[in-house]
Amino acid sequence: MTQNPLAAYRETRVRTAGPGQLVVMLYEEAVKQCDRAIDFLDTDLKKKPANIEKINHALGKVQDIITELMASLDFEAGGDIARDLFSLYVYFNRELSEANIVKDISRVKLIRSMLAELSSAWAVAATKAQGSGDERRSGVNIAG
């Protein structure tokens, strides 16, 4: 059975990534799913009711990613930063739930913007940690 080359590439990319890189990948996917939801929210939902399911699916994926990020926090190593991120993730999930219920594009755009900023910050941190060989001290335990 031959595997889809794109799926094989993605699997290899995830398997070979360090913890910081995995966090960046999660953020990038969350931003991508927010973009999908925003695109669907930007349509007339009365004319395209099927988009409601697509919005729900995309925002559900974002919430799943945020929940995974929450579960990966290491409060012992991460201290105040881990606690602050946890509070931020709780806020993100609450806002996304409410945005999904009322189909509020502005709330999704705000969360998307904040996720993109966090993604950029983590990308810088992961690059620095990888360069110093100290990626394990990120305050995030991707292994669970």
The pTM assigned to this predicted structure is: 0.80
Is the pLDDT at 26 greater than 90? The verdict is yes
Total domain count for the chain?
Answer: 1
Supply 81's token pair: 């930063």
The rounded mean pLDDT for the chain is 86
Is the pLDDT at 6 greater than 50? The verdict is yes
- pLDDT: is 98 or 129 the higher one? 98
CATH number of domain containing 67: 1.20.120.340
Supply 105's token pair: 């594009």
Question: 73 — phi, psi (to 5°)?
Answer: -65, 135
pLDDT band at 140 (very low <50, low <70, confident <90, very high): low
Q: What domain range is 56 assigned to?
A: 19-126
